[in-house]
Amino acid sequence: MFLVVIVFAIAYLSFFLFEYGTSGSVAEENRGMIVRDELKPGEHHLSGLIQLPSACDSFSIKTTELDAFRYHLSFETWREPQRDCENTPVARPFNTVVFAPAFGVFLTADLDGVALPFTLIPSIIN
């Protein structure tokens, strides 16, 4: 078990060095929403906050496996017809699970068909 934790830690350290080594720190990157990736063997538990157009909007999330290492998150919104709201953005929490390899995974996302930039913050769960 300890060896598995070490392997996951080395994999994510390599990811961060590769992803942010030449462009600065994670804090300096402005990539839209923050997505937390709680990693278990073969599972990515993703959570965060998504900005919706108003408090009257609801959303669903769908994950799609594009190939063995590429996955896509699709956020779809709709307005609840019985409510009257101002168009003031509101943050809503989300969470989903992607069953994928521990490392080498590339995630993309969209909100109603428009590319949604995000920063992935991984953490390993024992």
Q: Which domain holds residue 70?
A: 2-124
Beta strands in the chain (DSSP E): 33-40, 43-52, 57-65, 70-79, 90-99, 106-111, 114-115, 118-124
- Quote the number of domains for the chain: 1
pLDDT digits (tens, 9 = 90+) for 106-122: 999 999 999 999 999 99
* Mean pLDDT on 19-23: 41
Dihedral (Cα; 114, 60, 89, 31), 10-degree rounding: -50
Q: For residue 6, what pLDDT is reported?
A: 46
9: which DSSP letter? H
- CA atoms within 13 A of residue 16's CA, in its CB half-sphere: 12
Global pTM exceeds 0.85: no
- Over residues 75-82, the mean pLDDT reads 90
Could you read off the pLDDT of 91-109 as tens digits, one per residue?
999 999 999 998 889 999 9
Q: Which of the four pLDDT bands, split at 50, 70 and 90, describes residue 3?
A: very low
d(CA 86, CA 56): 8
C-alpha to C-alpha distance for 97 and 89, rounded to whole angstroms: 26
Please say whether the beta carbons of 94 and 52 come within 8 A. no
